[in-house]
Amino acid sequence: MANITSSLLSACHRTDNHWTGVEPNAEWVDEINRLKQERNAVILAHNYQLPEIQDIADYVGDSLALSRKAAETDADVIVFCGVHFMAESAKILSPDKTVLIPDEEAGCSLADSITAEQLREWKAEHPDALVVSYVNTTAEVKALTDVCCTSSNAVDVVKSLPEDKEILFNPDMFLGAHVKRETDRDNIQVWAGECHVHAGITPRQLEEQATANPEADLYIHPECGCANSAIYLAGEGAIEPERVHMYSTGQMLDAAREGGNNKVLIATETGMLHQLNQAAPEADFQAINPQAECKYMKMITPAALLRCLAEGADEVTVPEDISKAARDSLEAMISIGNPGSGE
């Protein structure tokens, strides 16, 4: 058996930016399952992962649902198939477990849009403000945060804070605009960060697709570049308001399982279609922008997962002081009552 691993491993190699050389065939499936048992590992995969990675995972979900699975598991090793800040969150919530990510270079343009140094400077300019950070942030940024939030609980989190307190909301400007609109507060400062994938789903594409498919519902992630225009178009009567649903990825799946839609236009990363099609095979899900792919999510390839399980790489670590402060801001969110589901 070990010979199978070494022959598959010898085919693994790194191109410019990802591990490649292994096909997701039956031999690969057997080897992944055998190595997983050998390490007493659990494989968690985000909704935006490649279909073959989603299919071999023990659990598929949004970033926080997966972190909660990580905290509950009896496995010694958590293999987190997602991007780096997500694996960090799993480590923060399960500090005693070994957390591996199949490719530590899998970053996130949104998390990278604010550094701990930038947040420190912003806080210094607003010394009395409270900091609310979306979970798509590094551990260092979470450690400087009062309360974290997800796309599904951001409005509840902000509503739970004293009305007279200024709020620094980061890093996503589209989610920040959504929160400002829903809470009707004018003392929220929003950081001008964005995810290149979500920002690439444009208001024009949304309007064209919604007009061409008048019978379709729209599931829109609040981080999307088109989110504000969906609300605007619904307000103007250009799209019937009841067709527009602002959902986190977890809420999209819940809505799909409840059924009732023949056609649904999706505004988020295209990996989501694999889960939606499994949740409601009879429905017709179409991406508003079929090119909306996260290159970082797709760095978790079959070769990367094999190498990860065979070699125990790449291990995710978070220094204890940062981990504790970051855990406090995540737990402050959970204590508000709606544990939420993020990207």
> Binding-site residues for [4Fe-4S] cluster, please?
108, 195, 294
Is residue 79 involved in binding ligand SF4 (CB under 6 A)? no
Ramachandran class of 260: left when φ > 0, alpha when ψ lies in -120 to 50, beta otherwise: left
Which one of 41, 75, 83, 148 is in contact with ligand SF4 (CB under 6 A)? Answer: 83
Residue 223 CB, nearest approach to ligand SF4 (Å): 7
Is residue 296 involved in binding ligand SF4 (CB under 6 A)? yes
Is residue 191 involved in binding ligand SF4 (CB under 6 A)? no
Residue 79 CB, nearest approach to ligand SF4 (Å): 17
Q: Which amino acid is at 188?
A: I
Residue count, binding to ligand SF4 (CB under 6 A): 13
Is residue 294 involved in binding ligand SF4 (CB under 6 A)? yes
Interface pattern 113-152 for ligand SF4 (x via CB under 6 A): -----------------------x----------------
> Binding-site residues for iminosuccinate, please?
46, 63, 134-136, 151, 221-223, 249
Interface pattern 196-235 for ligand SF4 (x via CB under 6 A): -xx-------------------------------------
Is residue 195 involved in binding ligand SF4 (CB under 6 A)? yes
Stretch that binds ligand SF4, among 93-101, 239-247, 292-300, 321-329 (CB under 6 A): 292-300
Phi, psi angle pair for 318, to nearest 5°: -135, 125
Spell 153-184 as b/e; 16+ CB within 10 A means b.
bbbbbbeebeeeeebbbbbbbbbbbbbbebbe
The residue (of 263 and 295) whose beta carbon lies closer to ligand SF4 is: 295
Interface pattern 262-291 for ligand SF4 (x via CB under 6 A): -------x----------------------
The residue (of 80 and 296) whose beta carbon lies closer to ligand SF4 is: 296
Interface pattern 12-31 for ligand SF4 (x via CB under 6 A): --------------------
CB 71 within 8 A of CB 42: no
The residue (of 105 and 166) whose beta carbon lies closer to ligand SF4 is: 105
Q: Contact positions toward ligand SF4, by CB under 6 A? A: 83, 108-110, 136, 195, 197-198, 269, 294, 296-297, 343
